Amino acid sequence: MSESATKPMVTATLDGRTVTVPKGTTILQAAETVGVWVPHYCYHPGLSSPAQCRLCLVEVQGAPKLAPSCVTELQEGQVVHTESPKAKEMRQGVLEFYLANHPLDCPVCDQSGECKLQDYVHAEGRVHGRSREPKRGFGRDDYGRDVLFYGDRCGRCTRCVRFMDEVAKDPRLTVVERGNRSVIDTFFEEGLQGSAFAGNIVDICPVGALVSKDFLHKARAWDLDHSPSVCPNCSQGCNIDLHVRDDVVQRLRPRANLEVNHHWMCDYGRHRYEWMNRQDRIEVPVVGSSADGVALEWGLALRQVADRLANAPQPVMAVASASSSNEDLGALAHLVRALGGGEIVFRSERAEKEIPLPGFPTLTRRYDLVPNRMGAEILGMTRVGKDDGTGGLEGWAAHRGTLLVLGDELRDVGVDFGPSAGLYVYLGSYPTPAASSAHAVLPVTTFAEGEGTFANVEGRVQRFWPGVRPPGLARPAWLVLAALVERLGGAAVPESAEAAFLRVAELAPELQGLTYEAIGTQGALLNEPVALPGSRS
């Protein structure tokens, strides 16, 4: 805000609309502020603009030639037409050139349905191309890592080359040859091997030239539901979309957030989504020990668990997970408080090193490989155990009080966990031997199935939305825990994740004043955020 107040502004007319933007704004960006989308390939908001795709040319009244709107700054009083006959005719011409050597293999192309060439040609292209000449062929190339190159589909926009040069600062791609023979290629044989961010070039490719091996032929773009989410694979909290078909997460795609991840995400995070599709799930509440446990519907299960909790043996100890949302963790903290208080610990995996994105170091694969360590810590939970996410619970075997577990699979602990506990309640998504001694096992949803918030390494609270339907009777942990609190005489069950979030603020002053609306899709900083090296201030 203060920036625009001090910067000189220019006012111009764009397609009959008046636009006022800071001086130095390009015509293309200015057009977007009034909802005019100028077609383009080579321009990308996160990269430099070579103005070579020639699709974003617009008519500037008084200028002899059409101007590339991605690099032409809007001038005071200018009259710009993006839809004039001249501009449209030119676009139709350029699109015809794009198709002259394009294989038109949309039926087998992964990009089909989210392809800019398809979109633009469908909107403005000629009904029939005039080319009668044989098409030039390049074939395919394996660039290494997850990336395949279909040369025939390539429009030579060079976004991939510029991403590797400017953002990854790891120039592994280049244009070889000249003219119609020019093609994107790798240097030497290693290709993209060793690059930690190469997956982004698949996202930014406007056509189907660069495709992901992992996603190849898995789903058609139009069958995918996109739900906004936050990458759960490290504490950076890159904004992402879950692309889901038939309740199966098919891929993760970065979602723009200029403060967190710009338009990018790392390959580490991108390729860790298979666990969201795990089919071995706890689907029904089971109350009773493993030998005589009974599957119950929720009402009965909650009543029985609440009855036992009413006389919970002391002391109360709980194991939480830094992969749980603030809402879940807050509800757990409320329950522990309702039981008279107790220690809550969590274990989390930590990497040996961070992996920064050189061109945008705010985006770094962080040490903490969990999304919500910050949230757990502001709720007073203590991290225990080793950096591989194990250990720290050695003394708990002999615990005779009440034991609560939320989310941690306790893989390293095994069947020996909690046999002597007076009361052991396990809330989780996946069956685990460590729950075999539990007096109650309650199914909860995963992050992909629920709504909630994470606080990232910087202290930015970010929302995620449900993308997948939960299996069986799994319910959000905050709902289950709040129901127990209510049955113990506490506050009524919150009606929504948002209400659950507002209740978390009672325990953490850092969250006070934040609402789901304020967090929105781009997140909001905690009251005391952490200054990160390399972050934008």
**Of residues 176 and 310, the one with the C-beta less far from other proteins:** 176
CA distance 390 to 434: 13
**Of residues 51 and 256, the one with the C-beta less far from other proteins:** 51
CA within 13 Å, CB half, 505:
15
260: contact with other proteins by CB under 8 A: no
Helix 477-487, helix 298-310: angle, nearest 10 = 50
**Of residues 42 and 507, the one with the C-beta less far from other proteins:** 42
23: contact with other proteins by CB under 8 A: no
**330 burial level (CB within 10 Å; 0-12, 13-18, 19+):** buried
93: contact with other proteins by CB under 8 A: yes
Assigned token pair, 464? 């995620």
Going from the C-alpha of 103 to that of each of 46, 107, 139, 272, the distances in angstroms are 29, 11, 11, 33
**Of residues 137 and 179, the one with the C-beta less far from other proteins:** 179
Out of 2, 8, 181, 279, which residue is the one contacting other proteins (CB under 8 A)? 181
24: contact with other proteins by CB under 8 A: no
Out of 88, 156, 218, 272, which residue is the one contacting other proteins (CB under 8 A)? 156
Chain-centre distance for alpha carbon 506 = 28
69: contact with other proteins by CB under 8 A: no
Out of 75, 180, 512, 515, which residue is the one contacting other proteins (CB under 8 A)? 180
303: contact with other proteins by CB under 8 A: no
Out of 78, 101, 229, 325, which residue is the one contacting other proteins (CB under 8 A)? 101
Q: How far is the CB of 201 from other proteins (least distance, A)?
A: 19
* Of 97-105, 232-240, 368-376, 424-432: span binding other proteins (CB under 8 A): 97-105
Identify which of 268, 261, 264 has the alpha carbon closest to the alpha carbon of residue 368: 268
Ranges of beta strands (E only) in 348-401 are 355-356, 364-365, 382-383
* Of 44-52, 116-124, 185-193, 391-399: span binding other proteins (CB under 8 A): 44-52
x/- mask, other proteins, residues 121-140, rule CB under 8 A, reads ---------xxxxx-x----
**527 burial level (CB within 10 Å; 0-12, 13-18, 19+):** middle
**Of residues 158 and 200, the one with the C-beta less far from other proteins:** 158
104: contact with other proteins by CB under 8 A: no
Out of 57, 201, 207, 338, which residue is the one contacting other proteins (CB under 8 A)? 57
61: contact with other proteins by CB under 8 A: no
Out of 10, 12, 14, 53, which residue is the one contacting other proteins (CB under 8 A)? 53
CA distance 107 to 495: 46
Out of 38, 47, 66, 514, which residue is the one contacting other proteins (CB under 8 A)? 66
100: contact with other proteins by CB under 8 A: yes
CA distance 272 to 456: 18
Main-chain dihedrals φ then ψ at residue 399, nearest 5 degrees? -65, 130
Per the CB < 8 A criterion, the answer to whether 345 and 320 are in contact is yes
- What's the N-to-C CA distance of the chain in angstroms? 14
CA distance 155 to 166: 20
**Of residues 52 and 535, the one with the C-beta less far from other proteins:** 52
51: contact with other proteins by CB under 8 A: yes
CA distance 530 to 528: 7
Q: How far is the CB of 467 from other proteins (least distance, A)?
A: 37
Interface ranges with other proteins (CB under 8 A): 50-55, 57, 64-66, 68, 71, 90, 93-94, 96-98, 100-101, 130-134, 136, 155-156, 175, 177-182
